[in-house]
Structure 1
Amino acid sequence: MEIQELKALIKESVREVLREERLLLCQVLMPYVSDEEQAEIEAEFGSPSEYGNDELVDMTNWVKHGGQISQAGS
């Protein structure tokens, strides 16, 4: 294996580990919500299934890329 391939493999492996650790940190920092508290929240704000598509923003790519906005064609 060439040095550049090894460096690329190590770099990608470190990225994967950091991504996993960031998700674990998010889980740890997310506060616990009891069933009673969740019911109160849903009573006040409704359930996401009741929201229209125009009220939602898909954050999947934002989360996958660590909060960076990807540029088209990059």
Structure 2
Amino acid sequence: MKVITEKEELYKLIKEAVREVLHEEIVEIFLKNIPLISKEEMKDIENLYGKPSLDKIAAFSETIEI
């Protein structure tokens, strides 16, 4: 089975694949660099700012017709 593609189309496919891999790697590196906190630190944060509310309030909302 032969697949015939134009050079430009192949370039676009490779470029998109590289972008996806780079994005995944950047996200992984970012998440690995977020420091973990101890239970004691979490208690200090809750004492200072209170526990997070279960009711989420949207800061911004927009309706788009398609």
Shift of 1:35: 2.2
- Aligned partner of 1:8 in structure 2 is 12
- Structure 1 vs Structure 2: percent identity of aligned residues? 42
Which aligned pairs between 1:1-74 and structure 2 lie closer than 5 A? 1-49=5-53, 53=57
Amino acid corresponding to residue 29 of structure 2 in structure 1: L
The DSSP-based 3-state class of the residue aligned with 1:32 is: coil
RMSD: 2.3
Q: Which protein has the larger Cα radius of gyration, Structure 1 or Structure 2?
A: 2
- State the aligned residue count: 56
TM-score under structure 1 length normalisation: 0.58
TM-score (structure 2 length as normaliser): 0.63
Listed as ranges, the gaps of 5+ residues in structure 1 are 58-74
- Higher relative contact order by CA 8 Å / sep ≥ 6: 1 or 2? 1
Q: What corresponds to 1:68 in structure 2?
A: none
